Amino acid sequence: MREITFGAAVNEAMAEEMRLDESIIILGEDVAEAGTPFKVLSGLVEEFGTERVIDTPISEPGFTGIAVGAAMTGLRPIVDLMFGDFLFLIMDQLCNQAAKTHYMSGGKLSVPMVLRTNMGATRRSAAQHSQSLQALVAHIPGLKVAMPSSAYEAKGLMKTAIRDNNPVVIFEDKLMYNDKAEVPEEEYLINFGEANILRSGTDITLIATSSMVQQAEMAANTLADQNISAEVIDPRTISPLDETTLINSVKKTSHAIVIDEGHQNYGITAEIAARISEKAFYYLDAPVQRLGAMDVPVPFSPVLEDLTVPTAQQIHERVVMVLEGKI
Amino acid sequence: MSNNKDNKNSYLQMFRQMVRIRAFEEQANQLYLSAKMPGLTHMYVGQEAVAVGICEALTPNDKITSTHRGHGHCVAKGADFKQMFCELLGKQEGYCRGKGGSMHIADQANGNLGANAIVGGSAGIATGAALTAKRMGKKEVSVCFFGDGALGQGLLYETMNMAALWKLPVIYACENNLYGEYTKVEEMAAGDLMARAKGFGIQSFEVDGQDVLAVNNLTQELVERARKGDGPFFILLNTYRYHGHHVGDINREYYRSKEEEQLWREERDPITNFSQLLVDKKISTSEELKSIELQIEKDAEEAVNYALNAAWPDASEVNMHVFASN
């Protein structure tokens, strides 16, 4: 099968959907000729024109709000938020307006829009261009949140997001844009709320999101050398969350570690660990462990920044500690 | 200009709609005072000529976005009393099945995209609706209602900038009722209110918001121009809220005088003055107008009684409509 990059997969998903549905537009900073700083949208304006691929001023709340209104009245906007850190700028429009409109109107109005943004540290971009803020939006009822972990996932989840009748936030790890994976030429979608078991195992369940899936798989490989069988699961969407698949896996392995690049405090890892404790407590042989980003603003200095993000080695070490009863 | 018969009909329609707003608000206030309404509400009384003058220049397909002080916009855009009162009381038959309440009534069938409890929060929505109209080649216009308080919100300026860049068919209707919550506008807004939108190259107009004909004539002209692609526009409507910021804001003398309130009520009331004009110009008689008022008051009372006796939402509603189905 052909291999394409994560960025190309996102681009393909948007282009395919835009060919099918005239109501889809893209709004954001430097989305047209520039194709975004990461070049993920390159070529789209040439195909779809500036009427559908719309460069906006640097006004994140403004263009997000405009997308909400456009979505309420018949368009299906894809909002491009250049950095996930800018979520703090648009919280009212995303969380007070987009997320609540369907409910507050008793189901009369809906907001079919996609907000694609990014996450991920270790790009030496410091504290305001490196955050992974998925927990902030996953906390809000009315928003769906997808976290693709490969080019294949990115394409399938983006296409599903565009077709969804609700506001969907997609977090892409900006360090993965050039990562290649097998992506079929023919069309496919990936359903929300269906976790992917990447690797079957019997000793421990590793639940990981986005780029942490790669780290978990690397750890599973080194663990296999020590005859430890780790099951690796990617939830794909954290809202909705495929709780059943996660719980069933933990019931089988009796051990679990949750890995996500957001801050550990009150984060995605906390939520998933709590659900495991609520629903699989009597199957557990050790406390559920969490590995999130350190609870510090992301530092600039490479030697410091690298300390803040979970790694395959940390996962490996934590698995060994859990299985040896050292926690 | 339309002929006299059309004028009579449209004048009486404007009168009727203003009276409907006032009758609605009078009942809503009573519901609060008699502790029959959950929560608080913000009265539109005094500002009726703004909502009616503007909405009578729109078609049901034209969109509006409204504010926390939004009952007037909702009535003026064609909403029904019963469903509105049901919403105010949190009943199943409300416009939003009781899930929105006073500050979130939406009536999409009449083009009302909803009231918004975040000051200035709907500037993006109204502008986005105008983007849809332009993109889809519909000749629809959207009106963003907001108060002077929203002039402090950055979102408004971001969206005005984009509306001007993209020539969107949106009218920004700023209702200056002189107070943002409990503070005078001049203490909160520096410089010239009209200069704000002009700074983006948006044609701006100031009008007496107590004069329904002046508001309606101006809006008709701007709506027609916006449909042709001449938008966006900004209108500053000078008006006054008779009640406090919300129904519970009873003692107001620390921020405005009773004399000032009396002046607006007695000399600048949009309904009284329009009634006088209708009689003076022999478009109607005081008897006819009185009978219209009485009928509307009766309708409002009946609608309140209907809503008071209407069913609460079933408990199963609580987690319904969090997400739209696919």
**Between residues 25 and 64 of chain B, which touch chain A (CB distance below 8 Å)?**
63
Contact between B99 and A103 using a beta-carbon 8 Å cutoff: yes
Edge-to-edge strands, sheet with A114-119: A53-55, A24-28, A76-80, A114-119, A168-173, A144-146, A237-239
Q: Does a cis peptide bond (omega within 30 degrees of 0) precede residue B313? A: no
Name the percent of chain B lying above pLDDT 70: 98
B165 contacts on A by Cβ (under 8 Å): 57
Lookup: tokens for A36? 């975004």
Contact between A65 and B104 using a beta-carbon 8 Å cutoff: no
Residue A23 — very low, low, confident or very high, per pLDDT cuts 50/70/90?
very high
Quick one: average pLDDT of A181-190?
A: 98
Does position B5 have pLDDT exceeding 90, yes or no? Answer: no
Which numeric CATH code is attached to B14-309? 3.40.50.970
* Catalytic residue positions of A, numbered: 60, 129
| Residues B121, B100, A145: CA angle, nearest 5 degrees | 65
Q: What is the pLDDT of residues A63-105, one digit of tens each?
A: 999 999 999 999 999 999 999 999 999 999 999 999 999 999 9
Residue B2 — very low, low, confident or very high, per pLDDT cuts 50/70/90?
very low
Name the percent of chain A lying above pLDDT 70: 100
Residue B270 — very low, low, confident or very high, per pLDDT cuts 50/70/90?
very high
Contact between A66 and B326 using a beta-carbon 8 Å cutoff: no
B158 contacts on A by Cβ (under 8 Å): 57, 59, 61-63, 65
pLDDT at B7: 86
Quote the CA–CA distance of B50 and A24 in Å, as a whole number.
Answer: 35
Contact between B324 and A110 using a beta-carbon 8 Å cutoff: yes
Quick one: average pLDDT of A121-137?
A: 96
Q: Does a cis peptide bond (omega within 30 degrees of 0) precede residue A112? A: no
Domain ranges of chain B: 14-309
Quick one: average pLDDT of B143-163?
A: 98
Contact between A110 and B98 using a beta-carbon 8 Å cutoff: no
Domains and CATH numbers, chain A: 3-182 (3.40.50.970), 196-323 (3.40.50.920)
Q: Is B125 on the interface with A (CB under 8 A)?
A: yes
Nearest-by-Cβ selection for A105 from B106, B121, B326: B106
Does position B1 have pLDDT exceeding 50, yes or no? Answer: no
User: β-strand A196-199 against A237-239: which pairing, if any?
Assistant: unpaired
**Between residues 85 and 104 of chain B, which touch chain A (CB distance below 8 Å)?**
94-100, 104
Q: What rounded mean pLDDT belongs to chain A?
A: 98
